[in-house]
Structure 1
Amino acid sequence: MATLSDARRIVIKIGSALLVDRRTGALKADWLRALAEDVAWLKTRAEVILVSSGSIALGRGALGLGLSELALEQSQAAAAVGQIRLARAYEEALAPHGLTTAQVLVTLEDSSDRRRYLNSRATLETLISLGAVPIVNENDTVATDEIRYGDNDRMAAQVAATVGADVLVLLSDVDGFYSANPAVDPRARRYDVIDQITPEIEAMAGDAGSGLSKGGMKTKLMAAKTATAAGCAMVITHGEALRPLKALEEGANATWFTAHIDPQAARKRWIAAMKPRGEVTLDAGAVRALRAGRSLLPAGVSGVSGTYGRGQPVAILDGAGHVLGQGLTRYTAAETRTIKGHRSDEIEALLGYPGRAVLIHRDDMAL
C-alpha cells in the first residue's frame, strides 16, 4: 500500500470549510500557514500539487453576499473576487519557505476534451519540473452546470490521474470512511484500508456535506474510483488540525483506498486500449530512440496516414510496417505531414506559428 513517506508525487485536496471561517467569511490564516509548513516538508522529497476550494467562499464574504444559496451569476462574481484573494493567500503562505506558487484554473471540459487534457497535463508537468507548487481550482468564473465538476473531490482525483500521482490526500471534516454516519450512529466503524469499492461499501456512503462544501462521502468514493483506476492510492483524513499531513504520516486516523497498479502502467494501458485514428511511420533512428525511452520528434517521422486531431491516438510503425505501439499526438495529421522529417527548431517557420518540440511525448506513448 502506498503511503506519504514513499510517494513521489502527491495531490492534496483542500475544501472550503478548512480554509474559510463559515461565520465570518475570513481566511483561516493560521491553518494555511501550518499547511504551508507541511507542503514545504513534503517538497523536500516529493512533488506536490494542491487542489483548493475557497474562491467563492472568500468572495461572497468580501461582497457581503451572506450564507444563503447563490444564483449562478452571484457565484461567478464571488469566484472572480475570491480567486485573487485565494491565490495571494497561498503565495504569501508558501513564499517564506522558498516555494513558488502557480494558479491553474480548470473546468470539466479540460479533462473530457483530449486536446485540452493534453494541454493541461503539459502545463502541470512543466510547472512541476520547474519546482513550482500548482494551486488548482475549478474555474468558477466561467463554468456553468454543463461544464462543471461540481465538487473538488472528483476534480482532485482527475488532477491526480492527469499528472500520474502516487497518492491523493483528501483533507476532510471527518477522519476517514465509516460504515455509517458517526455523528448519528455510535456503532459506526471506521475502515483503515479499503482494497475494493464494493456495492456494500457504496451503500454505506451518505450525501451530507459540511456547511461550505458540496461534497459528501459519495463524491469521495467516486474520487477513489477515479484515482485508484489510474494507479493512485487515495486517503481520507481529518484536515482541521494544524499540520494535518504531518499528523497523517505520524499515524492519524485515516482510510486508505489502495491502487493495484502503478500510475505509469495504468496510463500506458489506457493509451494502448484506444482505437488509433491514424498512423505515423518512423525511420530507423527514431525507432532506436523510442526503444531507448525517448519521445518522438517530428524529425524521426517518414510517413503519415489517416485524419486525426491533436490529442488523438495514432499507431506508431517502423519502416517495415510493424506496429511498435501507439500514442497521443500533439499535432494534427495535416500538421504532422508538414513538419515530418524536420527539426523542432523549424516548426514555427513551417507552420507559421509556434509549436511543441515533441510530436508524441514518451509519457503519452504505449510501446
Structure 2
Amino acid sequence: MMGSAARFIFRRRGTSGTGKGWHWTDIVTWVWLVGGLLVMFGPAVWLAFSSFKTPAALAEFPPTILPYVTQQVTVEGYDKPLALYEAAMPDGSTRVLAEVRRIGIVSQMVNPQAPGEIIKVNIADRKPVRTMSLATENYTQPFVQFDFVQYLWNSVFVTVMATLITLVVNSMAAFALSKYEFRGRTLAMLVILATLMVPLSVIMVPLYSIISSMGLFNNLWGVILPTVATPTGVFILRQYMLTIPDELIDAARMDKASEWQIYWRIVLPLAAPALAVLAIFSVVWRWNDFLWPLIVLSRRELYTLQVGLSIYAGELNVQWHFILAMTVVTMIPVVLVFIFLQRFITTGIAGAGLK
C-alpha cells in the first residue's frame, strides 16, 4: 500500500507521456503543493518549536527554528555560570572561551581552565557554543504558579455547553424552516442570514445591558447564552435538512409520531454529518473567543484560556515563552476535535449545498 501511495504522489507527467521526464506542469504542481504546505503548517511548526525556547533564545536574531541554548560552564572566581563561545583569535586559531561581560562590541572572555587572564574579543569574531534543549518549564510553571488549570476548566465548560446548546437551538430552527410550510418562511430565513452582516461591536452595548440585567455578569453562562443562536449554523442545517425526503416525515406522522419524535428520532440522526460540521465550527468559535469573555468576566478565577493568556502580557514585559507554550496547549483540543470529526466535514458541507 505504501508503495502504491508513493508512486501516486511522485508520479510525473513526463516529456511525452512516458513519465520519465519533468514536464513544466510537474514543476508548477510541486511548487504549488510545497508552498501551500509551508504556508499552512509552517507557522504551527514554528509555534510548537518556539514554545520550548527560553526567553533569551526567543530574543535571538536571526531566529532559529529549533530550540537551541548556549552552553554554560562554571568558572572559578565567578558566582554565576558563564556562556561558552568559539572565539577566533588574531593568529587564526579558534578557542573555546567563557564570556564574563560585554562592553559595546567588545566581549571580555576568559579561558575556563585558566580564568586569570581577560581576553578581549570582538563580538563579530565569536560564535556561541549551542546545543538543543527543551525548556519544559514553559509548560509546567503556568500550571503550578498560575490558575491555568482553572482557566482550562472554564474554557472546556464554556465550549462544551455552548456547543451542545448551539446544536439543539439551531437544529430546531432549521427543522422548522426546512420542513414546515408557513407564510414568511423565506423572509425569516433572509432576516436570519442578514444578521451575519451585523458585527459584534454594534450589538455589544445592548447585549452587555441584557446580560447585566439578567444577573449574568461575571458568570460563565453570560458567556455561553448570547452565542448559542448562530445564523451560520441555521443555514448549514437547514440546507442539509432540505435533502431529507418529506415522505419520511409524512410516514412518521401517519404512524402517530409526535413532532418531537420526528425531530429527535428521524431528522437529527439523518442530519448527523451537518451537525458534526456545526460542532467543529462551534468548538473553534467558542474556544478561541476572546472579546466577549473579556467583557463579561472580570473575576480572575472565571477567566477562560484566551483571556487568561493576557496575564502574561504586562505593560512593560511580555512573557512570550509562557504565551507560546500555553497557545500550543489551547490548540490541542481543537485539533483533536477536528481529527475525530473531520470525516463528516466533506459530507456535511456537500450535503448542505444540494438544494
**TM-score of the superposition, structure 1-length normalised?**
0.23
Structure having greater relative contact order (Cα 8 Å, sep ≥ 6): 2
Give the number of the structure whose residues are more often strand, by fraction.
1
Whose Rg is larger? 2
Which structure features the higher share of helix residues?
A: 2
